[in-house]
Homo-oligomer: A and B are copies of this chain.
Amino acid sequence: MAGRKSSNGEVAGPRNVVLEVSSAHRTQLLEVTPQVAKAVADSGVTSGICHLYVPHTTAGITVNENADPEVARDVEATLDRLVPRNAGYAHAEGNADSHVKSVLVGVSESIPIENGRLTLGAWQGIFFCEFDGPRRRKLRLRIISDPS
Q: Which residues of A contact B (CB under 8 A)?
A: 1, 14-16, 49, 51, 53-57, 62-65, 68, 70-71, 73-75, 77-79, 81-83, 87, 89-93, 96-97, 99-100, 102-112, 114, 119-124, 140, 142-146, 148
Contacts and interface: CB of A to CB of B under 8 A. Distances in A.
Nearest to A113: B142
Nearest to A148: B15
9 contacts: A15-B148, A56-B124, A64-B102, A68-B93, A73-B91, A74-B90, A74-B91, A74-B100, A144-B146
A87 B73 CA distance: 13
Given A53-B111, A71-B96, A96-B74, A103 B105 contact: yes
A85 to B, nearest CB: 12
